[in-house]
A and B are shown apart, each in its own frame.
Chain A
Amino acid sequence: MNDSSAQVLNKNVGRTKKLKSTTSFVIPYIVWMALFLVVPMGVLVFLAITTYDFSANSEVHFTLSNWDYVFNSSYAVNVFWPCVLRSFYVSFIVTVICLLIGYPVAFFMTKIKPKYRALIMIFLSLPLWCNQVLRIVSWRTIFEILGTNYNEYYLLNIIIAMVSMYMPFMILPIFTVLEKLDYRIIEASYDLGCSKLQSFLKVTLPLSLGGIVSGVIMTFLPSLTSFEVSDAISYNTVLLLGNLIHARFHGTGGYNIGSVFSIITIVFTVVGFILVLKVDKEGETLI
């Protein structure tokens, strides 16, 4: 071995050493993730393919009967899948409303002076400092005052509460993209003959697509899996996906079926995030 290659080798040794020393910084996080994400996921999968019952500490039998129940039983047909559909329906409506209100707000925020922008930011983020359950319960109080706190209005009430809760998650990613947009590109479109509307449709809107997709996913997914809103607002009478899972784990037994529900929900979520990352490769709009 000659001198120069020895030097290269030494350099590499140095580099791995350096790498090792910084790697140690993430160890606590990796341990945390392993304990509270990977292990529970394993438990979920285990429960979903066995008949093991925690409370009885029963024998372990591997089976697909849980999946058969969720996909083929009359319970599945009459309760679970209609409930999934309802959840998608509610999330869809919530997302559309958030987008229709949120985009103009985000757009407006880029047009005003920084101090007013900061004020809107405070209004957007201030509610997040207050406990979520409290915010939902206070919505129920508002509906009581409005006189709409009964059966016919529950679905509407849930949608209103969800819109208010998830609005910041729609506005912020869209605002982030719009704010980064080079004003010269917009001016270039005017320069080439665009009216204000044409410029918006042909330049601003396509260039903010990344923010829209992030906003949509970050509104859609939490609405899809939320259980506490329907729980508090409709006294658990309007069942959503989250409520079914909650009931399985909170009530007696049924962990195995609940695990199957959870895994199905996780699949929806993962597909959602893959979609975001397809549009927004650097993940810069995610908060």
Chain B
Amino acid sequence: MAKVLVDLKNICKSFDEMEVLHDFNLQIMENEFVTLLGPSGCGKTTLLRMIGGFDSPSSGEIYFDGKLLNGVEPNERPINTVFQRYALFPHLNVFDNVAFGLKIKKLPKDEIEKLVMDALKQVHLEDFAARKIDRLSGGQQQRVAMARAIVLKPKLLLLDEPLAALDRKLRQDLRYELKDMQRSLGITFIYVTHDQEEALTMSDTVVIMNEGRVLQIGSPEMIYNEPETRFVANFIGESNIVDGQMIKDNVCMFEGVQFPCTYKGFSKNEEVDIVIRPEDFLIVDKDKSKLTGVIDSKTFQGSIHEINIIDIKGTELTVHTTKDYPLGLEVGLIVDPENITVMKKPGVNVYSGVMEADQMVRISDDIILETDSELEEGTEVVVRILTQDVLLDDIDESDFEGIIQDIKKRDMYYDVYIKTGDKTIVSSTSKVHRVGETTGIWVKREKVIVNVEEDVENE
């Protein structure tokens, strides 16, 4: 079994009260190519900087090869980094950039020369040794940055969006080169990117992050084929996400049509989200499927046609196909049971409330929250807060407080039921709490979704 090289335990990080990483746990094996994937601001670069030693966690431990890394200066870590926009030394030429770390190690001159030339050969820049940095193209600079880091033979290489500044074609070529280099050098790579294509093509393991939390960890195939949350399904490739129900084990229903699927263990008629990739739909004659719709629009995208089909109830489904179909044609859609992904709906707290002055909404005498909604004072509203957006914190840092009534274990988290006055609020959290404990409760203002009551009835 592979050895754990990097072990991140309960990492939290806040900058000026802004929490960027929330109780983050991750193990990285030796020789693994791990990609941290997420939208900008999800905390992935911060995590990388903490492993490199440029930031320190607010709490939690980083272990490298079994040793605690907290407090170790970056120059004393056996880790090297390929920085965003490369951070090459502009006053040195290509050779001296690559030789920089070796000179600090005070290796003999002829050895340095040999190692540098080897590294330059590896990145196909052996003829550029004397070139000045500002005379190199972006792709060449990227290669120098790689050579500068790998020449020191680190056990772990951190790469912070190394291809982001390059054009598309070059990016694709370099992907394969990076993957090859990782294999041949036998170095563990931690790769940060917001480009899902990059993550899927290169990695052994993809870690999907959003808002400082891990959403899903798995092989590229697993992440693509079995997204666990709506966010992952949307972020990785294109998806059709529709409301549905689990009729019973292995049977789901959406758009009024029952489909066989491979999911079990849901309660009877449980409301779920159903995810189907555009390429997993097959277009058939309209009488060969119960799910039918009219082709509404289409675009040709080189190798495939992207076709939007409007279903009878007004839902728009996207289908990718290699065959062209005329607009306005009524067709049937079928889908393989394995290609249907069923996701639990995120829990949601629903309350009725009244708007107060200054963008506040009153749910009860104890719960009055800030919101982005600009509805008039006195408007009767429905307030929705996803259970994952209800944060538990110290009492003095919070909006209101309550007593924990019950805790239910879910797959990757706990649902915590908290009583505040006559209302109960549910919070989904990965932290462990105790029943009977008093806790502070806190919701970001943009997560307090407020609708006028009439709107909800129309839905």
Chain A interface (Cβ < 8 Å from any Cβ of B)? 182, 184-185, 187-195, 198, 202-203, 206-207
Contact = CB atoms under 8 A, between A and B. Distances in A.
A189 B100 contact: yes
Contacts of B142: none
Given A184-B84, A195-B75, A198-B104, A190 B89 contact: no
A258 B158 CA distance: 66
Contacts of A193: 75, 101, 104-105, 152
B7 to A, nearest CB: 21
Contacts of A195: 75
Task: Kindly list the 8 A-B residue pairs having the minimum CB-CB distance in the complex, ordered from nearest.
Answer: A192-B101, A184-B87, A188-B87, A193-B104, A190-B74, A191-B81, A206-B91, A184-B83
A202 B152 CA distance: 18
Residue among A187, A190, A191 with max Cβ neighbours from chain B (10 Å): A191
Given A188-B87, A191-B81, 13 more contacts: A188-B89, A188-B148, A190-B53, A190-B54, A190-B74, A191-B80, A191-B149, A192-B80, A192-B101, A192-B148, A193-B101, A195-B75, A203-B89
B75 A194 contact: yes
Interface in B112-137: none
Contacts of B84: 184
Given A193-B152, A195-B75, A206-B91, A188 B83 contact: yes
B85 interface: yes
Contacts of A194: 75, 104
Interface of A is mostly: helix
B54 A192 contact: no
B90 A207 contact: yes
27 contacts: A184-B85, A184-B87, A185-B88, A185-B89, A187-B52, A187-B74, A187-B83, A188-B81, A188-B87, A188-B88, A188-B89, A188-B148, A189-B100, A190-B54, A191-B52, A191-B74, A191-B79, A191-B83, A192-B80, A192-B100, A192-B148, A192-B152, A193-B101, A193-B105, A194-B104, A207-B90, A207-B91
Contacts of B73: 190
Interface in B50-101: 52-54, 73-75, 79-81, 83-85, 87-91, 100-101
Interface string B139-176: 00000000011001000000000000000000000000
Residue among B85, B87, B90 with max Cβ neighbours from chain A (10 Å): B87
B87 A182 contact: yes
A36 B104 CA distance: 55
Nearest to A187: B54
A113 to B, nearest CB: 12
Contacts of A187: 52, 54, 74, 81, 83, 87
Residue among B79, B84, B90 with max Cβ neighbours from chain A (10 Å): B90
Nearest to A205: B91
How many of chain B's residues touch chain A, expressed as a range? Answer: 20 to 34
A202 B65 CA distance: 31
B69 to A, nearest CB: 14
Nearest to B105: A193
Contacts of A182: 85, 87
B376 to A, nearest CB: 40
A186 B314 CA distance: 56
A206 to B, nearest CB: 5
A193 B104 CA distance: 6
A52 B296 CA distance: 95
Nearest to B90: A207
A195 B79 CA distance: 15
Contacts of B89: 185, 188-189, 203, 207
A204 B79 CA distance: 22
Contacts of A203: 89, 91
A54 to B, nearest CB: 53
A191 B76 CA distance: 8
A206 B53 CA distance: 24
Contacts of B105: 193
Contacts of A190: 53-54, 73-75
Contacts of A198: 104
A1 to B, nearest CB: 41
A187 B73 CA distance: 11
A202 B99 CA distance: 13
Contacts of B83: 184, 187-188, 191
Contacts of A185: 87-90
B210 to A, nearest CB: 25
Contacts of A188: 81, 83, 87-89, 148
A192 B104 CA distance: 8
A195 to B, nearest CB: 6
Nearest to A182: B87
Contacts of B148: 188, 192
A187 to B, nearest CB: 5
B3 to A, nearest CB: 24
Contacts of B87: 182, 184-185, 187-188
A202 B101 CA distance: 11
A197 to B, nearest CB: 11
A206 B91 CA distance: 7
Contacts of B79: 191
Contacts of B104: 192-194, 198
A195 B73 CA distance: 9
A198 B104 CA distance: 8
A189 to B, nearest CB: 7
A199 to B, nearest CB: 8
B157 to A, nearest CB: 11
A188 B152 CA distance: 13
Contacts of B80: 191-192
Residue among A182, A184, A198, A206 with max Cβ neighbours from chain B (10 Å): A184
Residue among A188, A194, A207 with max Cβ neighbours from chain B (10 Å): A188
Contacts of A207: 89-91
A182 B133 CA distance: 15
Contacts of B152: 192-193
Contacts of B91: 203, 206-207
A184 B48 CA distance: 13
A79 to B, nearest CB: 45
A109 B217 CA distance: 43
Nearest to A181: B90
Contacts of B52: 187, 191
A202 B105 CA distance: 14
